[in-house]
Amino acid sequence: AQSVTQLDSQVPVFEEAPVELRCNYSSSVSVYLFWYVQYPNQGLQLLLKYLSGSTLVKGINGFEAEFNKSQTSFHLRKPSVHISDTAEYFCAVSGSGAGSYQLTFGKGTKLSVIP
Amino acid sequence: DAGVIQSPRHEVTEMGQEVTLRCKPISGHNSLFWYRQTMMRGLELLIYFNNNVPIDDSGMPEDRFSAKMPNASFSTLKIQPSEPRDSAVYFCASRTGLAGYNEQFFGPGTRLTVL
């Protein structure tokens, strides 16, 4: 079984400032890692995912995340945020083995970008 | 493609009434997921279908909840009788295949309020 911890439930940040949203996971097997974003009154959409290879993953809207196996982390970063980035961000993990179909989500981090 | 379609978008009902939520997955996707999102518990997987067959319903909270997928283009989640604690946003998601690395595409959700 896997679990995900998002350490910050809310992160306020000024427009054009950098931001890091933290995610730690726990798993007894190799994993795939994901970040999803949820805009108000909408469903979740994929920002980026780590499957294998380079530990730095680039996604949509200028976001990137770094997989750190030793620290079991997958933190999301953006060098300069915009008002439109205000949303809730979910980190998720899936086992990489056969039969590992389920995504386990963290509780989410609400990013508020302040003008 | 229209994406995952859910109906209704909002549902207000009284305790004890039957509620039926509907989902149309993306054409060609053979895996379908029902999730529930609440402030307290976050995103929880309720049930997962593959090729119209329920694979894992261990997340269904009680016998009051049931889900069906009569064909590849339609699924329902039914609550009978409904209770106030069922109030939540219910999401349907679909994807291709069984592998955990495939992206799940989420619908806009149904916001259920049980009075």
Averaged over A15-36, what is the pLDDT? 93
User: What is the model's pLDDT at position B66?
Assistant: 97
Whether A29 has its CB under 8 Å from any CB of chain B: the answer is: no
Q: Is B10 exposed, middle or buried (0-12, 13-18, 19+ CB in 10 A)?
A: exposed
* Residue A79, pLDDT above cutoff 90: yes
* Residue B1, pLDDT above cutoff 70: no
Rama region for A98: left / alpha / beta (φ>0; ψ in -120 to 50; rest) = beta
Percentage of residues of chain B with pLDDT beyond 70: 98
Chain B residues within 8 angstroms (CB to CB) of chain A: 4, 31, 33, 42-43, 45, 48, 50, 55-56, 91, 93, 98-101, 103-109
CB atoms within 10 A of CB A60: 10
* Residue A98, pLDDT above cutoff 70: no
User: What is the model's pLDDT at position A96?
Assistant: 75
Tokens of B5: 């379609």
Measured between beta carbons, which residues in chain B are less than 8 angstroms from residue A106?
A: 42
* Residue A100, pLDDT above cutoff 80: no
Nearest to B108 among A34, A42, A105 (CB): A42
Contacts of A80 (CB under 8 A, 6+ apart): A16, A17, A18, A62
User: What is the model's pLDDT at position A29?
Assistant: 82
| Lowest-confidence pick of A14-23, A106-115, B18-27, B92-101 | B92-101
Please answer whether residues A96 and A29 qualify as being in contact, where contact means their C-beta atoms are separated by less than 8 angstroms: yes
Measured between beta carbons, which residues in chain B are less than 8 angstroms from residue A88?
A: none
Tell me which chain B residue has its CA closest to the CA of residue A47: B103
Q: What is the spatial distance between Cα B115 and Cα B111, in angstroms, rounded to a whole number?
A: 13
pLDDT digits (tens, 9 = 90+) for B59-79: 998 899 999 999 999 999 999
